[in-house]
Amino acid sequence: MSEKNLALLTFGCQMNKYDSEKIVGLLENSGIRLTDNLDTADIIILNTCSIREKAEHKVYSQLGRLTPLKKKNPNLIIGVGGCVAQIQGKKILQRAPQVDLVFGTLNINKLPGFIREIEETSARISDIDSNSDIDTDSAAIKREGAVQAWVNIMHGCDNYCSYCVVPYTRGREKSRTRESILTEIRGLSEKGFKEVTLLGQNVNSYGSDLSEGIDFPDLLSLIDKIEGIKRIRFITSHPKDLSDNLIKAMAELPKVCESLHLPIQSGSDSILQNMKRGYTSGEYLKNIDKVKEAIPEISLSSDVIVGFPGETDEDFEKTRDIIKSVRYDGIFLFKYSPRPETPASEFSNQIPNDVKQARFENIMELQKEITLNKNKKLEGKIVEILIEGNNKNDNSKLTGRTRTNKLVTIPTEGGFKKEDLTGKLIDVKITRANLYGLEGIIVGSRQ
């Protein structure tokens, strides 16, 4: 493949970020260079998200903006991957004549071949085969950072929550083999990475489809033994599969960080039932109590949907109540968005947008108060930070995270150099807290 420039636009979750790192790695191995300049790109790929209607609209409006570039350079190759591609397939080719390639979430490995074929034959390809091998050669992944890395441990989801498109875009649960995951993480450690975040739609059910007889707590303890890795995080856990063994592993394994993302979605049992979530608010709170007892310093985050079909004022009050009782460090809050092919999109009692918006703002205000209050409690405390590098908004400052996943900004006065501290664990005294993070000063280093 001749020297070409690739522009890659990534939408959506960490899973897509990880897939984009795979896409860059694969194509760079075929001599393609990454550029962020759309005008000089020879190949433009959109790695898309379809979790909400808005996300899908974004894809088509972005494709519309690429039409003039295609007119200017007819050899420009435009490709669409990710969840919108997996759901819509060749419909995208029909709806957007400027698109040359539609590929799925599970056949990214075939990308170099697709591009070669388009270059040689000017064909327009739509291939969303989901039977491809999920274990990419992890060495080919082009990581965005140098300290913290995403590691996908499984694909797909078997839960079929009534509002969610993921099982239709990412397929059934498939766990990667223990060896391919450990090889990837050993490779990361050799390259100097200090933290890994394990990714899966429901990491708690890792291994249930493997004959190796391994589960998620087992995998955590194997990763905990890898030299050089200092911190382990994971996302996302399904509350119905949160086992006592996992809570024990989180409490006992030194490298597993004290932060847990546990989506509740709603505080109302009737809504949870209609969502097909598989747990009640009581069972969820019991699990939260167990986690808090085993790991008192735990930081908790969650996903919450407001405006799910049939949600009454009483149901909504129950969601407020559970947020007040758990006191999350942060939540990802969403207004219910009907998604194609999902059962809930057919439910009769859809909630009007203005009611959704009012409930959204209401919960947002409630959570802001809790988050600020929890961050303020850290003022004056000394905490361990893993430095990730320069602060994105201010180059004279460094950024890092606590084990409880709070962002900390640190001035570099006092002669501290980025190159000396990046990837290091240091002690920081928190001097100021706000809604979005913390500020602190260096008081010591741990290694």
Interface residues with ligand SF4 (CB under 6 A) are: 157, 159-161, 164, 166-167, 201-202, 238
Cβ distance to ligand SF4 smaller for residue 107 or 159: 159
Cβ–Cβ < 8 Å for 125, 117:
yes
DSSP 236-290: ---GGG--HHHHHHHHH-TTB-SEEE---B-S-HHHHHHTT-S--HHHHHHHHHH
Smallest gap, in angstroms, from Cβ of residue 52 to ligand SF4? 12
Smallest gap, in angstroms, from Cβ of residue 204 to ligand SF4? 10
Cβ distance to ligand SF4 smaller for residue 202 or 299: 202
Smallest gap, in angstroms, from Cβ of residue 325 to ligand SF4? 22
Nearest to 217 by CA among 202, 200, 205, 235: 205
Smallest gap, in angstroms, from Cβ of residue 19 to ligand SF4? 15
Strands 77-82 and 101-103: parallel
How would you write 89-118 as a 3-class SS string? CCHHHHHCCCCCEEECCCCHHHHHHHHHHH
Smallest gap, in angstroms, from Cβ of residue 283 to ligand SF4? 16
Q: Which residue bears the tokens 């592993």?
A: 249
Phi (first) and psi of residue 343, to 5 degrees: -55, -40
Strands 425-433 and 438-445: antiparallel
Cβ distance to ligand SF4 smaller for residue 203 or 383: 203
84: which 2 tokens? 């919108």
Q: How many CB atoms lie within 10 A of CB 61?
A: 8
Question: CA-CA distance, 287 to 365, in Å (whole number)?
Answer: 26
Provide the 8-state DSSP code for 215: -
Cβ distance to ligand SF4 smaller for residue 193 or 336: 336
Smallest gap, in angstroms, from Cβ of residue 263 to ligand SF4? 7
Smallest gap, in angstroms, from Cβ of residue 167 to ligand SF4? 5
Cβ distance to ligand SF4 smaller for residue 81 or 167: 167
Cβ distance to ligand SF4 smaller for residue 166 or 425: 166
Cβ distance to ligand SF4 smaller for residue 202 or 301: 202
Smallest gap, in angstroms, from Cβ of residue 239 to ligand SF4? 10
Nearest to 335 by CA among 312, 304, 310: 304
Cβ distance to ligand SF4 smaller for residue 105 or 201: 201
Smallest gap, in angstroms, from Cβ of residue 104 to ligand SF4? 17
Strands 32-34 and 425-433: unpaired
318 vs 91, 187, 292, CA distance in Å?
A: 41, 46, 21
Nearest to 403 by CA among 304, 258, 295: 258
Cβ–Cβ < 8 Å for 278, 159:
yes
Smallest gap, in angstroms, from Cβ of residue 340 to ligand SF4? 14
207 burial via Cβ count (<10 Å: 0-12, 13-18, 19+): buried
Cβ distance to ligand SF4 smaller for residue 162 or 270: 162
For the four alpha carbons of 380, 385, 391 and 396, in that order, the dihedral sign comes to positive
Cβ distance to ligand SF4 smaller for residue 159 or 301: 159
Cβ distance to ligand SF4 smaller for residue 166 or 298: 166
Smallest gap, in angstroms, from Cβ of residue 301 to ligand SF4? 15
12 burial via Cβ count (<10 Å: 0-12, 13-18, 19+): buried
Amino acid at 294: A
